[in-house]
Amino acid sequence: MTAPAALRESALPLPLLRRGKVREVYELGPSELLLVASDRVSAFDIVMQEAVPLKGAVLTQVSAFWFRRLASVAPSHFITADAGEIVARHPALAPHREVLRGRATLVRRTTPVAFECVVRGYLSGSAWQEYARSGTLAGEALPPGLVESDRLDPPLFSPATKAESGHDVNVTFEQMAEALGRPLAEELRRLSFAIYTAGRDHAAQHGIIIADTKFEFGHAADGTLLLIDEVMTPDSSRFWPADRFAPGRSQPSFDKQPLRDYLADLRRAGRWNGEAPPPPLPDEVVRATSTRYLEAYHLLTGAALEVAP
Ligand SMILES: Nc1ncnc2c1ncn2[C@@H]1O[C@H](COP(=O)(O)OP(=O)(O)OP(=O)(O)O)[C@@H](O)[C@H]1O
Ligand SMILES: [Mg+2]
């Protein structure tokens, strides 16, 4: 079987609001945005040259799955991820239907809240690093004696400021409440816990640990608070294979482990310094990564992935 073509970058004839590491954000009239997930992949914060077939479709359709499933838990920006429906609403996009298929999401435009709402159900990443150093998270004490990847019950709400470049900075709930006002901060925390808990429980029944995840929220023009951006995807979360979970060490990544292993080997061998430009990736690493993304999608949703023919 030949692998489906991968898309490194979309170029639609619309005003481009932003090009992220993975997605392009286009303006679509005054009140809508079009989010297009490319097949770009990053590791160690560096975007690879190669694109990973199916990845953009997986990201888009995992988010769409959660937006639909959790609609009663949190109202969201989601309008549709169906290319036919997008084109029906915006006929000028008809010539680009195949680029949109499976990877584009039409959403309500909002004014984003300037904090990332991170929920941590397991101690990993920057939270583990700070804890290992000082027993704290964003300066606040956590219980003593935790080891790397320990399950946190109840989960922690761990907001972060959005840094334009470099790493986001973890802050306390109090710092967030001071900046946003307590009622909004409390509502963001309540929604974040509700979404994460529902997602974690669903994923756990299907062999995936969602160790932590980042939500974004925004205010629509009428003032409604909406869940925006992407939701509980492998890119906005840590997905771990449940059958290999063992606290006391870092966990393999469900999706990016083939890529990480390859790059880590190169670094150990002194053949890559960890900085841009990234090394070229062998086909089998790209293929293995693609397979992992697709597997995560199937496990989580139980549905067939919609891809361009
Ligand atoms: N409904 C919405 N209204 C306004 N902004 C939105 C909406 N949904 C998502 N966004 C914004 O779209 C942007 C997506 O860009 P972002 O840089 O996160 O792309 P990315 O490919 O995920 O890159 P990275 O991997 O660096 O996060 C974010 O800044 C997010 O706040
Ligand atoms: Mg992002």
Reported pTM: 0.97
Spatial distance between the Cα atoms of 180 and 178, rounded to a whole number of angstroms: 6
227 lines ligand 1 (CB under 6 A): no
Residue in 156, 154, 121, 153 with CA at minimum distance from that of residue 136: 156
Taking CA atoms only, the protein residue closest to ligand 1 atom 26 is 21
Ligand 1 centre distance from Cα of residue 77 (Å): 12
Spatial distance between the Cα atoms of 206 and 188, rounded to a whole number of angstroms: 27
- Ligand 1, from 217, 225, 228, 256: best to mutate by most atoms within 8 Å of Cβ? 228
Q: Which atom of ligand 1 is nearest to the CA of 40?
A: 21
Per-residue pLDDT of the chain (309 residues; tens, 9 = 90+): 455 689 999 999 999 999 999 999 999 999 999 999 999 999 999 999 999 999 999 999 999 999 999 999 999 999 999 999 999 999 999 999 999 999 999 999 999 999 999 999 999 999 999 999 999 999 999 999 999 999 999 999 999 998 776 678 999 999 999 999 999 999 999 999 999 999 999 999 999 999 999 999 999 999 999 999 999 999 999 999 999 999 999 999 999 999 999 999 999 999 999 999 999 999 999 999 999 999 999 999 999 999 977
Q: Which atom of ligand 1 is nearest to the CA of 108?
A: 1
Q: Is the peptide bond before 91 cis (omega within 30 degrees of 0)?
A: no
Extract the runs of DSSP E, i.e. beta strands, from 109-236: 111-112, 115-122, 136-137, 140-141, 151-157, 160-161, 169-170, 208-219, 225-228
96 lines ligand 1 (CB under 6 A): no
Proximal ligand: closest to the CA of 112: 1
